[in-house]
């Protein structure tokens, strides 16, 4: 979709979370939901982040967007005993506003341990000192951090030394597993390290039965992708 229809005036209130399940591959049940930002215009056209994030950044609304998605998602999952996660941007890690915001929102939240924050592995490498400090601060809130888009670059392996709750293996790796045995060996090595460190490991972008079979054979216990469900406005539709 072109960005022009949403470029005239951006309003954070038009942003809604869409929910995509992360599945427990051992039980075929939903383990958690990733909350993904979508924008609805006056005609109920749905826009992906690729259509509007540049506009958000231009207007310096990135942190406001994060807070809005978190509040909308937390409000929904307050009534449901299911873990959920949202994505953090660079500004969220580098600026001091995130921790006070989370402390206020989660002060009376049922089981904050159900909340996960996702940070891309590349961003984690770029902002390692700030992320390390944030991880220490989040311990008192019992909020975990997952490393997203993990495993593409060699330097990602050192990130397994961080006290994160889990890693989500990049879809580019997962899609190649069925045709590249060398890639399977690399993913298996990182997967075993993550499990040894006590981390959750999620295979992203599972889009067909063969890929699901391959990741299960490698030892993944959690998976996400269109094979299970597209992101939905209501998780019950997943």
The C-alpha angle with vertex 82 and arms to 77 and 88, in degrees rounded to 5, equals 65
For the segment 36-77, what is each residue's pLDDT rounded down to a tens digit? Answer: 999 988 888 899 988 888 888 888 889 999 999 999 999 999
> pLDDT category, 6, cuts 50, 70, 90?
low
Read off the CATH number of the domain in which 70 is found.
3.20.20.450
| Containing structural domain, residue 154 | 4-237
pLDDT greater than 70 at residue 230: yes
Output 80 or 127, whichever has higher pLDDT: 127
Q: Is the pLDDT of residue 5 over 60?
A: no
Task: Answer yes or no: pTM beyond 0.85.
Answer: yes
- pLDDT-derived band of residue 4, with 50, 70 and 90 as boundaries? very low
Average predicted confidence (pLDDT) for the chain: 92
DSSP state letters, 175-186: HHTTT-HHHHHH
Dist. CA 40–CA 173, nearest whole Å:
31
Using the predicted structure, report yes or no on whether residue 2 has a pLDDT greater than 70.
Answer: no
Residue 213 contacts by C-beta under 8 Å, 6 or more apart in sequence? none
Q: What is the mean pLDDT of residues 178-204?
A: 95
The total number of structural domains that make up the chain: 1
Q: Which residues contact 126 (CB under 8 A, 6 or more apart)?
A: 90
Count of residues in the chain = 238
Q: Which residues pair with 169 in a beta bridge?
A: 150, 203
């Amino acid at each position: 979709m072109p960005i022009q229809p949403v470029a005239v005036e951006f309003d954070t209130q038009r942003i809604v979370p869409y929910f995509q399940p992360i599945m427990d591959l051992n039980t075929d049940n939903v383990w958690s939901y990733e909350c993904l930002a979508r924008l609805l215009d006056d005609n109920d056209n749905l826009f992906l982040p690729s259509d509007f994030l540049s506009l958000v950044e231009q207007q310096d609304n990135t942190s406001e967007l994060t807070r809005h998605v978190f509040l909308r998602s937390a409000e929904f999952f307050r009534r449901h005993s299911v873990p959920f996660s949202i994505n953090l941007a660079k500004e969220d890690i580098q600026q001091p506003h995130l921790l006070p915001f989370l402390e206020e929102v989660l002060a009376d939240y049922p089981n904050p341990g159900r909340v996960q924050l996702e940070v891309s592995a590349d961003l984690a490498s770029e902002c390692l000192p700030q992320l390390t400090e944030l991880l220490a601060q989040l311990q008192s809130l019992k909020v975990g951090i997952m490393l997203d888009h993990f495993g593409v670059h060699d330097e990602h392996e050192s990130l397994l030394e961080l006290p994160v709750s889990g890693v989500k293996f990049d879809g580019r790796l997962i899609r190649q597993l069925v045709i590249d045995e060398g890639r399977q060996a690399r993913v298996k090595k990182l997967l075993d390290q993550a499990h040894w460190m006590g981390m959750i490991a999620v295979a992203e972008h599972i889009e067909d039965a063969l890929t699901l079979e391959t990741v299960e054979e490698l030892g993944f216990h959690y998976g996400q992708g269109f094979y299970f469900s597209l992101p939905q406005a209501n998780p019950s539709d997943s």
